[in-house]
């Protein structure tokens, strides 16, 4: 199952103050420009190999929810109403998606917002978070194994996820973050780390402990 965010992923969304104020105006969401990746999502839906959902949060506005539905109907007409999930701002997307999971199929999220991606991966095995790099909301892109800018990159990542076997989980010895064991940074003392920075900090701590 593939869940795709709208604002900043399918639709060009700007986060500066002037634009954020306009979010509450009528027709704001209707006028959002689509990214090119929309065409690839349409192809995925037409192939029917995996279920594709649009999972987007809505601000407290009298226009937001209805305008998002109309935008999806215009730019992704292949998505039926049952595959449009519009939640409240701040809701945990992974918890919402979990209600739609009926078996052990992979759960994939394409989103530009780091917190959504982090919560998604914390669900455990079979939950894959893909960071969409839109040039605005991607300051922490290095934290993610999967990150894409184009349809070609997304196709490659989805193929990799589909072909691979489940990988065992472990946790970083420094920060405690959940990691896949084959991606860990291992030192000579058997420490497991999620990144180079944690590896350095972990080695320093072990050295400090040995000097006690």
What pLDDT digit, counting tens, does each position of 125-135 carry? 789 999 999 88
Condensed to tens digits (0 to 9), the pLDDT of residues 137-146 reads 766 555 678 9
Tokens standing for residue 44 = 């995925």
Q: What's the pTM?
A: 0.75
Distance CA 162, CA 36 (A): 23
Tokens standing for residue 70 = 């109309």
Condensed to tens digits (0 to 9), the pLDDT of residues 50-62 reads 899 999 999 998 9
Q: Which domains, and CATH codes, for the chain?
A: 2-165 (3.40.50.1000), 170-210 (no CATH)
To the nearest 10°, report the CA torsion of 95, 164, 36, 1.
-30
Pairing mode of beta strands 169-171, 146-148: unpaired
């Amino acid at each position: 199952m593939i869940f795709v965010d709208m604002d900043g992923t399918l639709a060009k969304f700007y986060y500066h103050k002037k634009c954020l104020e306009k979010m509450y105006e009528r027709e704001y969401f209707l006028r959002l420009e689509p990214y090119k990746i929309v065409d690839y999502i349409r192809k995925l839906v037409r192939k029917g190999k995996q279920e594709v959902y649009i999972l987007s949060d809505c601000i407290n506005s009298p226009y937001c929810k209805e305008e998002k539905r109309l935008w999806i109907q215009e730019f992704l007409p292949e998505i039926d109403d049952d595959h449009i999930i519009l939640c409240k701002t701040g809701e945990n997307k992974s918890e919402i998606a979990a209600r739609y999971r009926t078996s052990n199929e992979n759960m994939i999220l394409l989103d530009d917002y780091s917190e959504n991606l982090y919560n998604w991966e914390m669900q455990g095995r079979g939950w894959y978070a893909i960071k969409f790099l839109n040039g605005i909301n991607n300051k922490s892109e290095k934290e993610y194994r999967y990150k894409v800018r184009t349809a070609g990159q997304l196709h490659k990542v989805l193929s990799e996820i589909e072909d691979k076997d489940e990988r065992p989980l472990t946790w970083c010895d420094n920060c405690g973050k959940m990691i896949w064991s084959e991606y860990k940074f291992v030192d000579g003392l058997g420490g497991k780390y999620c990144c180079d920075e944690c590896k350095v900090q972990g080695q320093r701590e072990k050295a400090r402990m040995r000097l006690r």
